[in-house]
Structure 1
Amino acid sequence: MRIDFVITELFVGGAERCLTELATSMAAAGDDVRVFSIGSLPTGPKSLLVDRLRSGGVEVASGNADSMWQFRGAYQNLTRWLGSSPADVCQTFLFHANVIGTMAAKKAGVAVRVGGLRVAETRTLRCRIERWAVRQMTSLVCVSDDVQKFASLRLGCDSEKSIVIPNAVDVGRFAIAEAFDWTAIGWPSDAAVALFVGRLHPQKGIDLLQKAVDEIAPARSKRRLLIVGDGPDRVAIDRWAGQVGNERVVLLPWQADVAPLMRACRVLVLPSRYEGMPNVAMEAMAAGRPVVCSRAEGARELLGHDWDRQSFAIDDGPSMTRLVAAFLADADCADRTGELNQAKMRSEFSIPTMVDAYRSLYRELRTRRLDV
C-alpha cells in the first residue's frame, strides 16, 4: 500500500512516537510510506524522530508553518505534495493536521482520508472546526473508548465511522534501560522518587503536585519529587522549585530518553485534567513501575486491572497524595505493581499489535473504496 502520514509537528511526544513506530514498521514491511509535518522539522537533539524516520527509508517533508499565519502556505504545499504521488490512504494525526491534512487530501484527490483523534479537548471553537473536518474523513481512529465517546458527543462522529486503536509502547526498550543514578542530581542513591514527565501546562495538573509537595517530598526525608519537561508554565514552576529547595524538588528540561528516569523512580504521577491515552503512563508501566494517574480519558484501559490503587478522580489532590505516599512508603509493593503493569503492556499494547490494527483498517477501507 501507499500511505501518506500528516502530523502537526515531529517534536518528541506521544502522537509523534506513535506515527514514527507506525510509519517505520509499515515501511519495513514493504509499504510505500511518506510523512509530512505541518510545522518546521526539529533540529539538533530534538530531531530524534525525524532521524529515525529517514534512517528507516521514510521520506519526510515539511510545510514549515510555525504560526497560524503560515497555515495557508502549508496547506498549498501539502496539497501539491499529496497530489504529486497520490496514496491509497492519507492518515492524519493531531488537530491541525486533521484539519489542514484532510482538506489538502480531499483537494489532491486522495479517496481514503483517515483522521486521528488523540485527546479529548473541549474548547468550543476547536470542536466546531474539527467537527467539520471529521465530516470530510472516511474514518476516524480514536486512541481510547473515552475518546471515541468524545468524538460522538462533541464531533458528531457516529460509531460506524470511528474505530478504537490504542497507543503502543516499545516494552523492551523501557524494560532493559539502565536506571538513572540519583546522585547525578545531588540526591541519595536510594531516594524514593515520585516522577512527573510531560508538558508544563495547566492541562497536566502540576498544581496538584505543588500543593502536595510537603506530603510527597517532605523535608529531611528520602522522598523526592522530580519534574521533567518544558512548556508555558516552566518559568513559574522553576521559581517554585527553587523556593522549595533542590534537596526536595528538581525540575529538569525535556529529555531525549526518559527510560532511565522511569526505571529508577518509585512511582510515576500524572494528574492530567484531560488526555486521550497517556503515553507517559504506558512508558512507566513498560519500565516496570507503578503509576498514579488521574481518571482522564484512556486511563481505564491502562489501569482497569488495578483501578483503585493507581487512579484517582480528576482534581482530587488528597486521593492522589494518598496513593503516591503508599508507593513511596513500600518499595516491595511498588515493584510488584510494576511487574503487573509491565506484563499488561507486553500482552495488550505492543507495537506489532497496533501496526496490525492500522494495516487492517487501511486494507478494509481501500477494498471498500475499490468495490464502490
Structure 2
Amino acid sequence: MRVDFVITELFVGGAERCLTELAIGMAQQGDQVRVFSFANLPEGEQRLLADRLLSAGIDITTGDADHANQFLRAFRRLQSWFKESPPDICQTFLFHANVLGTLAAKRSGVNTRIGGIRVAESKPIRIHVERFAARQMTSAVCVSSAVQQFAQRQLKIEQSRSIVIPNSVNVSRFVDAVPMSWTDLQWPPDSVVSLFIGRLHPQKGIDLLQRQIDVLAPANSNRRLLLVGDGPLRGDLETWAEKIGADRVRILPWQKDVAPILKASRVLVLPSRYEGMPNVVLEAMASGKPVVCSRVQGSEELLSHDNGKQAFAPGDDNAMKKLVEQFLCDQSLCEEVGLKNRRRAEVDFSVASMVDAYRRHYQSVLNR
C-alpha cells in the first residue's frame, strides 16, 4: 500500500506518537509511507519523533506553517505533494490536518481519505468546520468508543464509516526503565510521590490537585506532588508551588523520557475535563503503576478491567482524593493494581496490534 500520513505538527504528543509508530510499523512490513507536517519540524529534544521517522527512512515534507496566515500556502504545497506521487490512502491526524488534509486530498484526486478523530472537543466552531471535512472522508479512525460516539453525534459520521483503533504503548520501554532518584529534586529517597504528566492547561483539571494539596502532599510528611509538563498555566502554577514550598510540590518542564519518573512514583493522577485516549495513562499502566483519573473519554475504556476502582467523576476532587489516598497508604494495593494494569497494556495495547488494526482497516476500505 502507498499511504500518506498528514498531521498538524510533529511535537511529541499522543497523536504524533501514534503516527510515528504506525508509519514505522507499516514501512517495516513493506508498505510505502510518507509524512506531511503542516508545521515545521521541532528543534531540540522535541525532534524525537521526527528523528525516529527519518532514521527509519521515511520521508517527511513540511508546509512551513507555524502561523495561521501560512496555512493557505501549506495547503497548496500539500496539493502539489499529493499530485506528484498519488497515494492509495491519505490518513490525517489532528484538527487542522483533518480539515485541510482531507480537502487537499480530495482536490488532488486521492480517492481514499481517512480521518483521525483523537479527542471529543466540543468547541462549536471546530465542530462545524470538522463536520464539513468529515463529509469528505471515506472513513474515520476514532481513538476510543467514547470518541466514536462523539464523532457520530457531533460530526455526523455514521457508524458504518468509523472504526475504533486505540493507542498503543511499548511496554518493555517502561518495564525496563531505571527509577529516578528523588534526591535529584532534593527530596528524601523514600518520598511517596503523586505524579501528574501533561499539558499545563485548564483542560487537565490541575485545579483539583491544587485543592487537595494537603492530602497529596501534607506539610511535614513524606508525601510529595510532582507536575511534569509545559503550557499556559505554567506561570500561575509556579507561583502557587512557590507558596506551597519545594519540599511538598515541584514542577518540571516537558521531559523527553518520562519512564524513569513513572517508575519511581507511587501513582499517576490525571483529573482531565476531557480527553481522547490519554497516552500517559497507557504509559503508567505499562510501568505497572496505579492510575487515578477522571471518568472521561478514553480513560474509562483503558481502565475497564478494574470496575471503576481507578476513576472518578470529572470535577469531583473529593472522590479523587479518596482514590489517591488508598494508594498512598497501601503499597501492596499499588503493586496488585499496577500488575493488572501492566498485563492489560501488554495484552490489549501493543504497538504490533495497533499497526495490524490500521492495516486491516486500510485493506478493507480499499477492497470496497
TM-score relative to the length of structure 1:
0.98
Aligned to 2:12: 12
Deviations 1:186-243 (A, max 9, x none): 1111111000000000000001001110111000001000000001111111111111
Please give the alpha-carbon distance, in whole angstroms, between the structure 1 residues aligned to 2:240 and 2:61.
40
Give how far 1:167 is off. 0.7
Gaps of 5+ in 1: none
Give how far 1:307 is off. 3.4
**Contact persistence 1:195–1:267 (CA under 8 A):** yes
Counterparts of residues 1-372 of structure 1 (less than 5 Å) = 1-368=1-368
Give how far 1:302 is off. 0.9
Give how far 1:115 is off. 0.1
Please give the alpha-carbon distance, in whole angstroms, between the structure 2 residues aligned to 1:287 and 1:314.
24
Please give the alpha-carbon distance, in whole angstroms, between the structure 2 residues aligned to 1:95 and 1:154.
14
Deviations 1:228-260 (A, max 9, x none): 000111111111111111100000000000010
Cα RMSD, aligned residues only: 0.7
Counterpart AA for 1:268: L
Give how far 1:330 is off. 1.0
Please give the alpha-carbon distance, in whole angstroms, between the structure 2 residues aligned to 1:365 and 1:163.
11
Give how far 1:336 is off. 1.2
Give how far 1:308 is off. 3.0
Give how far 1:300 is off. 2.3
Please give the alpha-carbon distance, in whole angstroms, between the structure 1 residues aligned to 2:204 and 2:249.
17
Q: Secondary structure at the match of 1:53?
A: helix
Deviations 1:140-192 (A, max 9, x none): 00011100000011001110001000111111111111111110011111111
- Structure 1 segments of 4+ aligned residues over 4 angstroms from their partners: none
Please give the alpha-carbon distance, in whole angstroms, between the structure 1 residues aligned to 2:183 and 2:226.
13
Please give the alpha-carbon distance, in whole angstroms, between the structure 2 residues aligned to 1:307 and 1:284.
18
**Contact persistence 1:3–1:32 (CA under 8 A):** yes
Give how far 1:338 is off. 0.5
**Contact persistence 1:300–1:307 (CA under 8 A):** no
Gaps of 5+ in 2: none
Q: Secondary structure at the match of 1:115?
A: strand
**Contact persistence 1:142–1:164 (CA under 8 A):** yes
Give how far 1:365 is off. 1.1
Please give the alpha-carbon distance, in whole angstroms, between the structure 2 residues aligned to 1:270 and 1:241.
18
Please give the alpha-carbon distance, in whole angstroms, between the structure 2 residues aligned to 1:8 and 1:342.
31
TM-score relative to the length of structure 2:
0.99
Please give the alpha-carbon distance, in whole angstroms, between the structure 2 residues aligned to 1:60 and 1:179.
34
Counterpart AA for 1:88: D
Counterpart AA for 2:62: S
Please give the alpha-carbon distance, in whole angstroms, between the structure 2 residues aligned to 1:223 and 1:308.
25
